[in-house]
A and B are shown apart, each in its own frame.
Chain A
Amino acid sequence: MTPPPATAAVDMMRPTTVPQDSQINRDVMSVTKGVSWQWGLLLSMALIGVAQAIFTLAYQTYVGLGIAGYQSPVFWGVYIINFVFWIGIGHAGTLISAILFLFRAKWRNAINRGAEAMTVFAVLTAALFPLIHIGRLWKFYFLIPYPNQRALWVNFKSPLLWDVFAINTYMLISIIFFFVGLVPDIAIARDRATGIKKVAYTLLALGWQGTGRQWKAHNRTVLHLAGLATPLVLSVHSVVSWDFAMSIVPGWHATIFAPYFVAGAIFGGFAMVLVVMIPVRRIFRLEAYITDYHFDNMSRFILFTSLICGYAYGAEYFIAWYSGVEFEQTSFWLRLFGPYWLSTWFMISFNVLFPQLLWIKKLRTNVPFLFVLCVFINIGMWFERYVIIITSLSREYIPAAWGLYIPSLAEMSILLGSFCWFSMFFLLFLKFLPIIAIAEMKELIIHDKAHAAQESH
């Protein structure tokens, strides 16, 4: 009998080592470890931005809404635009986490956590704007139906009230969805943390151990929440669109508004997912998890929703012309060639013309190009809301009552603050919770491993 080779003998003598932690745990959790000066700088900038907006808001609350650019006949301005913009940004997260889940699109796994976080933060940003817009912040509770000394109930026939219910439901359901998905990943963090972080993660992980019963409950919960969130997300932006479409203002009173807003929201939201995830992927070296395949798929989504937006823009003009209604026709003519022509052309070129470049396969996976394009799309989507709101309000039925609206410094300060507020949440999220849904990615990794093992047999 030949003796075993020397290396094998050494292997036999070596005590069994504790297996290394899995690669994906280390890769993703490394994002939360340590704080770089760049991160600190970004967070400080975000905090300064939020602080200046709080100062503006305090000043506005003290002196009144006069410091916003409102003047007759335009009393919905940048605050409402921001509200619609941020609500729209949130939609991509729910689409990725709920609708793509129901369609079993496995490519969502790499981006769904980032997108869900974005949804929660975007809705938290959007929800501030109705309050900022009403001026008298302390009266917001008038919108909630409860027995009161005014002996009145709210008007359930008003789309503004539907919005209160839609937005609050959306906010709560997004947070629940986000949290349920996080529980298994918080348990991963808990098992590897020490000190105060361990205590926090232990409380948040709720004793998760990945037992059969827990996974079964988890799968069922995610399925049901996805089933609930899918009609919800479509309803939320529809209700937002009805804030406009239920009126008789020319340019607003259109049946196409609900699908038009929903498609636009998903379009803008997807662009924001890319704007946020591209730097994160680059800085934290997550190229192995967020690949060209994901960029290609997201680009196709952006292209598709851009086409829907383009169709909606076209349909609006067609109906305005075909209706024969003078007011509609004037309203749409003035959008293109009136005082706000620049915003309209921004909207058309950034949202419809530029994204057509995504027909080219090479550009769909060209990351720097996608980043720039998505920044433009976000600007375009902001201008879309600007066009819808401002052009229609400033040019209503009676030319004698026409006016011009120019955003004021205060409104710009709060617009800047809203981006900083959103970034602040996202930067903090990066350092406390895993940016990629580890357990869901592991499902794919282990599936591949099992497949490889089967083939080698």
Chain B
Amino acid sequence: MPTLVSVFDLPDDTALAIRKLKGRGFDDLESYSPAPFEQIDDAIDERPSKVRAFTLVGGLTGVFTGFLMQIWMSWEWPIKIAGKNFASIPPYVIIGFELTILFGGILTLIGFLLVGRLYPRPLDKAYSSRFSAEEFGIAVTVGDRDVAEVDALLRSLSAKEVTLLDD
């Protein structure tokens, strides 16, 4: 299946092109952007990123770990300190809070790596260093018969260049 790589100058044009392509049923596409632009990311996928679930799970795990660890350890070898209860909740809030943040942060990082598919790997053929300069790219994989149509469509949507990658 051939892949068409088009280059754009402005984020709004890129987002528009993605929406038009999707509207015509060309769903197998990827955008490359040098900086975060919500319009492009939303055009690719409207749904909020799944990273948020990771943070929630991490935070909840942290808060339960923090409190349960302290309460259990206080009971396991009870020593009276300053006449307070063995498991006294107010001072435990601090470590409970810190572990909430710690586990939440670590799980958020893991979520970022998994959701963004970030691990050392070969880069896409369509990717080039232009897209880490100041240009935007869309790589769309289409059927052989549609190449001419998509090429014309992209050029009409202010693409600076359209190149064909064959594989």
Which A residues fall within an 8 A CB radius of B?
A: 16, 19, 21-22, 25, 145, 151-157, 161-162, 165-166, 168-169, 172-173, 176-177, 179-180, 183-184, 187-188, 191-192, 202-203, 205-221, 224-225, 228-229, 231-232, 235, 239, 439-440, 442-443, 445-446, 449-450, 453
Residues of A within 8 A of B92 (CB): 156
In the complex, whether B120 has a CB less than 8 A from a CB of chain A is yes
Q: Point out the residue from A221, A235, A440 that lies within 8 Å of B51, measured CB to CB.
A: A221
Is there contact, CB below 8 Å, between B40 and A215?
A: yes
- Complex Cα distance A317/B158, Å? 68
A180–B112 CB distance below 8 A: yes
Contact with A along B151-167 (1 / 0, CB 8 A): 00000000001000000
Q: Is the CB of A157 within 8 A of B116?
A: no
Q: Would you call A157 and B98 a contact (CB within 8 A)? A: no
Residues of B within 8 A of A157 (CB): 81-82, 84, 88, 91
Name B21-78 residues within 8 Å CB distance of A: 30-38, 40-41, 43-45, 48-52, 55, 59, 69-70, 73-74, 76-77
Q: Is the CB–CB distance between B120 and A207 below 8 Å?
A: yes
| Contact in complex: A213, B108 (CB < 8 Å) | no
Q: From B31, B52, B73, give the contact of A212 (CB < 8 A).
A: B31
A156 B49 Cβ-Cβ under 8 A:
no
Q: How far is the CA of A384 from the CA of B154 in the complex (A)?
A: 63
Instruction: Compute how far the CA of A283 lies from the CA of B128 in the bound complex, rounded to whole angstroms.
Output: 32
Given known A162-B95, A215-B41, A221-B109, contact A188–B49 (CB-CB < 8 A): no
Contact B45 A210 (CB under 8 A): no
Find the B residue at minimum CB distance from A440.
B35
Contact yes or no, A216 B118, CB < 8 A: no
Known contacts A157-B91, A220-B49, A224-B108; is A187 also within 8 Å of B132 by CB? Answer: yes
**Complex contact A228–B105 (CB within 8 A):** yes
Determine the chain A residues whose CB is within 8 A of the CB of B31 once the complex forms: 211-212
B144: Cβ under 8 A from any A Cβ: no
Is the CB–CB distance between B135 and A19 below 8 Å? yes
Interface centre among B37, B49, B74, by most chain A C-beta atoms within 10 angstroms, is B49
Q: A211 to B48, Cβ gap below 8 A?
A: no
Known: A206-B118, A218-B36, A231-B101. A450 touches B11 (CB 8 A): yes
In the complex, whether B146 has a CB less than 8 A from a CB of chain A is: no
For the complex, what is the distance from the CA of A173 to the CA of B104, rounded to whole Å?
A: 10
The one of B36, B101, B130 in contact with A215, judged by C-beta atoms closer than 8 angstroms, is B36
Give the one of A25, A161, A173, A177 with max B CB within 10 A. Answer: A173
* A188–B132 CB distance below 8 A: yes
What's the least CB distance linking A255 to chain B, in Å? Answer: 15
What are the residues of chain B within 8 A of A188 when measuring CB–CB? 34, 132
Q: With the chains together, A293 CA to B132 CA distance in Å?
A: 27
Q: 5 closest A-B pairs (Cβ-Cβ)?
A: A212-B44, A191-B129, A206-B118, A217-B116, A220-B49
CB distance from B72 to the nearest CB of A (A): 9
Q: A157-B91, A209-B127, A210-B131 are in contact. Are A228 and B104 (CB under 8 A)?
A: yes
B17 within 8 A of A: no
| 18 new A-B contacts at CB < 8 Å, known A157-B84, A221-B51, A232-B98 | A156-B91, A176-B105, A192-B129, A207-B120, A207-B122, A209-B123, A210-B35, A212-B45, A215-B33, A215-B40, A217-B112, A219-B49, A220-B52, A221-B49, A224-B51, A229-B101, A231-B97, A442-B34
The answer on a CB contact under 8 Å between B45 and A213 is yes
Query: Could you name 30 residue pairs across A and B whose Cβ atoms are closer than 8 Å?
Result: A19-B130, A25-B132, A25-B133, A145-B73, A156-B95, A162-B98, A165-B94, A165-B99, A165-B102, A166-B98, A169-B98, A172-B106, A176-B105, A210-B35, A211-B33, A212-B44, A215-B36, A215-B40, A216-B41, A217-B111, A219-B36, A220-B48, A220-B49, A220-B51, A221-B49, A228-B108, A439-B34, A443-B36, A443-B37, A446-B37
The listed residue with most B CB atoms (<10 A of its CB), out of A228, A231, A232, is: A228
Give the complex CA separation of A191 and B130 in angstroms. 9
Which of chain A's residues have a CB closer than 8 A to the CB of B33? 210-212, 215
CA distance A178 to B25 in the complex (A): 39
Q: B160 → chain A, closest Cβ, in Å?
A: 9
* A216 vs B88: C-alpha distance when bound (angstroms): 42
B149 at the interface (CB under 8 A from A): no
What residues of chain B lie closer than 8 Å to A162, measured between beta carbons? 91, 94-95, 98
Is the CB of B145 closer than 8 A to any CB of chain A?
no
B132 close to A212 (CB less than 8 A): no
Minimum CB–CB distance from B6 to chain A (whole Å) comes to: 15
Q: A155-B81, A191-B129 are in contact. Are A207 and B73 (CB under 8 A)?
A: no
B32 & A210 in contact (Cβ 8 Å cutoff): yes
Q: Of all chain B residues, which has the CB nearest A26?
A: B133
Shortest Cβ gap from A455 to chain B (Å): 13
* Shortest Cβ gap from A208 to chain B (Å): 6
**A440 to B: closest C-beta gap in Å:** 7
Closest residue of chain B to A202 (Cβ to Cβ) is B120
With the chains together, A155 CA to B30 CA distance in Å? Answer: 54
